[in-house]
Structure 1
Amino acid sequence: MWCDEMMALWVPIAVYWVVCSFYEVLMRLQLHALEKYRLHSPNDRDRRNKVSFIKVVVMVAVQHMIQFVFGYFLLDVQHPSVREVNHYMAITRTTRRLGAYLGLTNANHIAWLWHHAVVPFIQFFLAMCYIDTHQYFLHRLGHTSKFMYKHFHSLHHRLYVPYAFGALYNHVVEGFMLDTLGAGIAYELTGMSPKMGMTLFTFSNIKTINDHCGYNFPWDPLNLIFKNNGAYHDIHHQPYGIKTNFAQPFFTFWDRLFNTEFDQTAKRSVKPN
């Protein structure tokens, strides 16, 4: 049986390949009912992209291998019984404090809710905010620095027509710094459990795929919840929007704060480096 730490390593990677394969099959089938939600035509993908599908898949596989090795040394494997005892002790301490300071008779129920719902929610949200902050500023640096763009970030922008597998198509150094390291730091800073880390890494992968999937389905829950979706990020991959919409993968508040959100009314035209 897989321990939580090992699942946190391989589950997000497995989900990435499964979800990307689903979108790739969808694109190749060109189902008439779904083609109206496609952001670019099949011909555009073949004509405009400057890297082959095989090379994209290979580079993603390399990044995942690096991610797995990094995570293996990052995660501190604990025996399930030790983790269970530590969790029980934490709930007990919270129960005692609630009873001592607030005199609550149902302190144990509140403590259980605190550790099973409130704390994980706070950890997850803070981790999302950190990942967004980490990626926004590194991503923006990849465009404002000619050296960074030429030697690292320009590889990702060989995809003028994004598709699912290309979500993690990056230079290996940039992929590590942007995705692997950012998620690892978020995990460590928030002190979340390996199981919660698995959920965070998996959700982050799914959201990144959604941003590059090439479709803008109006019923997609991620499109309804997040403004930062496939249509939003697709603008960034076009010559007229390459200096805008740096935010990824969840929120857009950094783009709004630093005035780097694409202005549809301005119809700005910005050429890539």
Structure 2
Amino acid sequence: MGTFAPIVLYWVYAGGYQLILHRWPLERYRLHTRAEEEEKNLVSLPTVVRGVLLQQLVQAIVAMVLFMLDLSNPIIHDCLQVTSDSSVTVVQPPIIVQIFQFLIAMLVMDSWQYFVHRYMHQNKFLYRHIHSQHHRLIVPYAIGALYNHPLEGLLLDTLGGAISFLVSGMTPRTAVFFFSFAVLKTVDDHCGLWLPYNIFQHLFRNNTAYHDIHHQLQGTKYNYSQPFFSIWDRILGTHMPYNLVSRKEGGFEARPSRD
């Protein structure tokens, strides 16, 4: 059942955001007005939901296969323990090891997603026929965080997650916590709200406003990094800073800045 925990968490967390997104007083924390969302987005909410469910079905199948096959991983194999009833369990490594595995998985996932994501923008065929599906949500919202073309979902998210899992050597149980954390961060980056006490938005420079810039027309060639750090953007010159400007009608606007 742990395989489905990140999927359940996605709908609980994103669904919660979706329910409060149009509620006062949170209107004053929106990065875009409700009118902008309705006018600019090129895809309906039901279509987004169907697209996300399709991607999560593929992710669940890949995860179950990986968890079953990865007992041959030497790191995990050393953690196997045969109990008195001859069943095999995986012993969790020390917490410090799991923290290290988390960091490795975060860096691997960020690296994979940066270069694949950037190439999908630079290759006109891939952008037109695949990646542009995600950018139909010009004004991002939480449930649309995983709204992608099925091929992009497989290459960018599912394969990237599988590589992170295998390279880090984490156990399936640790992986459930890691992917749950990644889901929360990804949903938060698309939530469309800048909240005063949001820990993700204040601990990570790669946050809701940072990714919102990427969805704007003037920012589509910048801020490719996701979901955790902005390291590759800064190293390779695709980093676009932003200013948060208060709107007279309430809420904030993330404006690109080249300062």
* TM-score, normalized by the shorter chain, greater than 0.5: yes
- % same residue: 42
Post-superposition offset of 1:263 = 4.4
Closer/same/farther in 2, CA of residues 173 and 85 from structure 1, 3 Å limit: closer
- Indicate if the aligned counterparts of 2:213 and 2:242 stay in contact, CA closer than 8 A: no
Post-superposition offset of 1:37 = 1.3
Matches of 2:161 and 2:144 in 1, distance apart?
A: 19
Cα deviations by residue, 1:94-144 (Å, 9 ceiling, x for unpaired): xxxxxxxxxxxxxxxxxx9x9422211110000000000000000100111
TM-score (norm 2): 0.85
Kindly report which structure 2 residues correspond to 1:166-181, keeping only aligned pairs within 5 A, or say none.
166-181=144-159
Greater C-alpha radius of gyration:
1
**1:62 aligned residue:** 54
Matches of 2:163 and 2:180 in 1, distance apart?
A: 16
Superposed CA RMSD: 2.4
Which of 116, 122, 143 in structure 1 is aligned with 2:100? 122
Post-superposition offset of 1:78 = 9.4
Kindly report which structure 2 residues correspond to 1:73-152, keeping only aligned pairs within 5 A, or say none.
73-76=65-68, 87=79, 115-152=93-130
**1:20 aligned residue:** 14
Post-superposition offset of 1:218 = 2.5
Residues 1:31 and 2:24 are matched in the alignment: yes
Post-superposition offset of 1:88 = 8.1
Matches of 1:161 and 1:149 in 2, distance apart?
A: 18
Cα deviations by residue, 1:208-259 (Å, 9 ceiling, x for unpaired): 0010000111211111210111000000000011110000000001000011
Post-superposition offset of 1:87 = 3.6
Q: How many residues were matched structurally?
A: 234
SS state of the match for residue 205, structure 2? Answer: coil
Which residue type is aligned with residue 24 of structure 2? L
Closer/same/farther in 2, CA of residues 267 and 122 from structure 1, 3 Å limit: closer
- Indicate if the aligned counterparts of 2:206 and 2:230 stay in contact, CA closer than 8 A: yes
Post-superposition offset of 1:72 = 1.6
Greater Cα offset, 195-204 or 34-43: 34-43
**1:101 aligned residue:** none
Which residue type is aligned with residue 62 of structure 1? L
Which residue type is aligned with residue 113 of structure 2? Q
TM-score (norm 1): 0.80
Kindly report which structure 2 residues correspond to 1:194-209, keeping only aligned pairs within 5 A, or say none.
194-209=172-187
Closer/same/farther in 2, CA of residues 76 and 49 from structure 1, 3 Å limit: same
Matches of 1:162 and 1:225 in 2, distance apart?
A: 21
Which residue type is aligned with residue 233 of structure 1? H
Which residue type is aligned with residue 101 of structure 2? Q
SS state of the match for residue 160, structure 1? Answer: coil
Which of 160, 163, 166 in structure 2 is aligned with 1:185? 163
Normalized per residue, the structure richer in helix is 1
**1:251 aligned residue:** 229
Closer/same/farther in 2, CA of residues 133 and 10 from structure 1, 3 Å limit: same
Closer/same/farther in 2, CA of residues 267 and 86 from structure 1, 3 Å limit: closer
Post-superposition offset of 1:42 = 1.0
Which of 201, 210, 215 in structure 1 is aligned with 2:193? 215
Normalized per residue, the structure richer in strand is 2
SS state of the match for residue 246, structure 1? Answer: coil
Please, which runs of 5 or more residues in structure 2 have no aligned partner?
82-90, 244-255
